[in-house]
Chain A
C-alpha cells in the first residue's frame, strides 16, 4: 500500500433541465475540481447529465436507521395531511 485513500465524494446529477439533482453514486478524488471531472467521466459517459454537484461525504449528516420509528413517527398519525382524508359531496367540482 502506497497511499491513503483520497476523500470520498457523493455525486448528484441533474439529468435534464427542469429536474432536480439526484444521487448517482460516489467516488474518490483529491479535491473538488478533480471530483467534478471524475464524476463527469464516471457518471455521465452517455449524456446522463447537464449539471453535476459533488459533496464531500463527510459533510453529509444522515438520520440513523435505528431511530427510524421515533424519528419518522410524527407523520404516521396525521392522515389529515392528505387530500383523500376529506369527504366531499358528490358532484362538487374543481376541488
Chain B
C-alpha cells in the first residue's frame, strides 16, 4: 500500500529554496491547503504541516497496532473452533488482521517513522491500540460478536477513510475495507447458526452480544464535544464524519440486523425516533471507556505482555534470516560463502538501516 516509488520519505522540504524560510513555508502551506480543498491527495514527498504529519503517524500507528493486537482475542479460539470449516475461516481472518497491520505500518513509514520505532512504541505503551481489544473472548459466540459488531463498527469508521486526504493511508483502507466485509459476514453467519441452534447456543449468542454491544459503540471515540482531535482532523480531511455521526449510523444499521438474528441489543432506551429518522439509544458509560484506555481493562496487561513475548521469542528467526541474507549477498558476484557470518550480518543490517530510514531515497531524488 504504503508507498509509491521508493519509500518516499518527506522529512526534507522541497528544495526550490525561495528567499526566506518564512516565505517558503507560507508558499508550501498555500499549496497544501489548495490540494486539500480541491480534494486532491497528499503524497509522501509533498510538503505537509508538522501537525498533519504527527496526527497521521499517531492515527495510522494506533490503527496498525489495533490490527496486530486484535489477532489475540480471536486466535484464542482457533484450537477450539467447533468444526474444520469454522477453524479454516478463523485462521484466514486472523491472517487478514496481520496483513492489515502490515499495510498500515507501511503507510505510517512513508511519513518518516520506521517499523522498529513503531513496534517499540507499541511495546512500551507510548502508542495505543483500540481499547476494544482489552475485553476477553469468553465463549465461542464472542468470535461471532466480534465479527458482526467490532468489525462492523470498524467498517463504519473505515469506509470514509478510503477518501482520507493522505494517499497511502487511503489506499491501505481501500484494500482493508474489501477484506473486512468477509470478516463481518462470517461473524454474522456464526451468530445466526448459534441463535437458531439449541436454547443453550441461543443463550450463548445473546450473552456475547450483550457484552460486546456497548464497547463496540465506544469504538467511535468520545462524543463530538469532548473529542480532542476531531475538528482539526476534519479540516484536514483525514476524518470525514464526526464520532457521533458514525456511531448513529452504526446503531441504525445494527438494529434491523439484530432482529434478523433473533437477538436483542442490551439497551432499554433503544427505539425508533420518527422525527429524527434515526434510532435513539441510551447513554454510554464513558467512565468505563476512560478506565480501559488508561490500562485498567480486563486484558490490557495480557495483550501487551503476549505481544512483547511473541516479538522477543521471534528474535532468533529474524536474526537467522538476516544472517542468511548477509551470507548470500556480501560474497559479491561469485557468491562466495562468507566464513565469518556474523560480520556479514552486521554489514547488511547497517546498509539496510540507511535505506529504510529513507535518507538514501531522499538524497537520490
Contact = CB atoms under 8 A, between A and B. Distances in A.
A8 to B, nearest CB: 5
Interface in B1-57: 1-8, 14-16, 43, 45-46
A75 interface: no
Nearest to B6: A60
A3 interface: yes
Contacts of B350: 4
B352 interface: yes
B312 interface: yes
A3 B106 contact: no
Nearest to B28: A66
B45 A25 contact: no
A3 B324 contact: no
Most chain B CB atoms below 10 A, which of A1, A7, A46: A7
A82 to B, nearest CB: 24
B324 A31 contact: yes
Contact of A4 (B311, B349, B361): B349
A52 B1 CA distance: 15
> Range of interface residues on chain A?
20 to 34
B186 interface: no
B160 to A, nearest CB: 21
Contacts of B120: 1
B304 interface: no
B43 A65 contact: yes
Contact of B3 (A31, A41, A57, A58): A57
A10 to B, nearest CB: 6
B352 A62 contact: no
Contacts of B171: 25
A26 B365 contact: no
Interface in B95-121: 95-96, 99, 102-103, 106, 109, 114-117, 119-120
Contacts of B5: 10, 23, 60, 62
Contacts of A36: none
A58 B355 contact: yes
Given A25-B106, A31-B328, A66 B115 contact: no
A93 interface: no
Contact of B315 (A2, A25, A56): A2
Interface in A37-95: 41-42, 45-46, 56-58, 60-66
